[in-house]
Amino acid sequence: MDLDYFFQLFLGGMTRGSIYALIALGYTMVYGIIKLINFAHGEIYMIGAFTALIIVGALGMTGLNPVLIFLIAGVIAVLTSAGYGVTIERIAYKPLRNAPRLSALISAIGMSLFLQNYVLLAQTSNFLPFPTLIPEFKFLANAGGIISSTQIIILATTALVMVVLTLLIKFTRIGKAMRATSQDRQMAQLVGIGINKVIAFTFVIGSFTAALGGVLICSHIGQINFYIGFIAGIKAFVAAVLGGIGSIPGAVLGSFVLGLTESFGTGYISSDYEDVFAFLFLVLILTIRPSGILGREKKAKV
């Protein structure tokens, strides 16, 4: 077996997994708190990537340092996406908080459709190339092209986000409020937690990480269009379900499992069926263990 090829696939899988993890975090956190599959989450990721591309394009003329441009674009994109996340929650989900779950889910599908077409109409339906802005690191020259500097940045950023997020949820005041809200919304309200604020904050964090994923993956793959959010969103959701939805370590674990499966599946079997692997995996996991790898089984009550 070709070891170099194996490592390439492994690292490719890890990179994929990192991006899925960044998106899946938003899904899992939102689900944990308001028990809603935020279908529009993939669109947030796409909007993050698009905004970054637009800012990069607009700043490209000024002749600034590419790394600086990338940073500015990243910051603006992430902030804008967080804004989108909160706005979507306000418009499409908040009025439905006490409605049947099906209503909120259909509203989320509607929002996803709307956002996709909004970007399609305001921008373009073509694939746009994303300029390379991250320079190749010098020390990678003798690594033999197994790993690129973008991949290193993606892996490092994901790791950092995970650590910060875990600390945030474990030790800060708002993190505690989030955990309380996800356990029992009514009780949380009774003990004086402003659940509207907590929910909005969850959407901010979720959109923030998704947009970060969007910016990073586009600088890695190098092209985007309005449709990327849908498939990435579905796969991240698969990852979140794999790990057990509502659980943050579960989402990360599920993402890496999914990323590696896809990478090895396409590398050793066939690249035509890339998306089928993810979906088959989902069906299998849900059939065998509906609560996911790290999820807890819940008993239904009347």
Partner 1 sequence: MVTLKQIRNSVLIALWMMILTFPIMVIKVNTIENIVIWRWMNLLYIGVGTVILSIFWFFLINRRKLEPEERKRSFALKGKIETLKGVLAKPVVQKPLYAALLVIIIIFPFVSSLYQTGIMITALMYVILGLGLNIVVGLGGLLHLGYAAFYAVGAYTYALLHRYLGLSFWVCLPIGALSAMLLGILVGLPVLRLRGDYLAIVTLAFGEIVRILLENLSQYTGGPAGISGIPRPSFFGIKMSLSTAMNYTYFLTFALVLFTIFVVRRLEHSRLGRSWVAMREDEVASEAMGIDITRAKLSSFALGALWAGLAGVFFSAKTTFVNPASFTLWESVIILCVVVLGGIGSIKGVVLGAIVIILLPEYLRAFSQYRMLFFGLILVMMMIFRPGGFIPAKRRVYTFDKAQLEESD
Residues 138, 173, 298, 301: which binds partner 1 (CB under 8 A)? 301
63 binds partner 1 (CB under 8 A): no
227 binds partner 1 (CB under 8 A): no
212 binds partner 1 (CB under 8 A): no
Q: How far is the CB of 121 from partner 1 (least distance, A)?
A: 7
Question: Residue 169 has which token pair?
Answer: 């949820």
253 binds partner 1 (CB under 8 A): no
The pattern of x and - marking residues 263 through 292 that bind partner 1 according to CB under 8 A reads ---------xx-xx-xxx-xx--xx--x--
Give the nearer residue to partner 1 in terms of CB position, either 101 or 296.
Answer: 101
Burial of residue 253, with CB atoms counted within 10 A of its CB: 0-12 exposed, 13-18 middle, 19 or more buried: buried
Q: How far is the CB of 172 from partner 1 (least distance, A)?
A: 27
Closest listed residue to residue 156, CA positions, set 175, 137, 174, 141: 137
Q: How far is the CB of 288 from partner 1 (least distance, A)?
A: 9
Q: How far is the CB of 265 from partner 1 (least distance, A)?
A: 13
242 binds partner 1 (CB under 8 A): no
**Applying CB under 8 A, which residues contact partner 1?**
36-37, 47, 50-51, 53-58, 60-61, 76, 80, 83-84, 87, 91-92, 95-96, 99-107, 109-119, 121-124, 128-131, 230, 234, 237-238, 241, 272-273, 275-276, 278-280, 282-283, 286-287, 290, 300-302
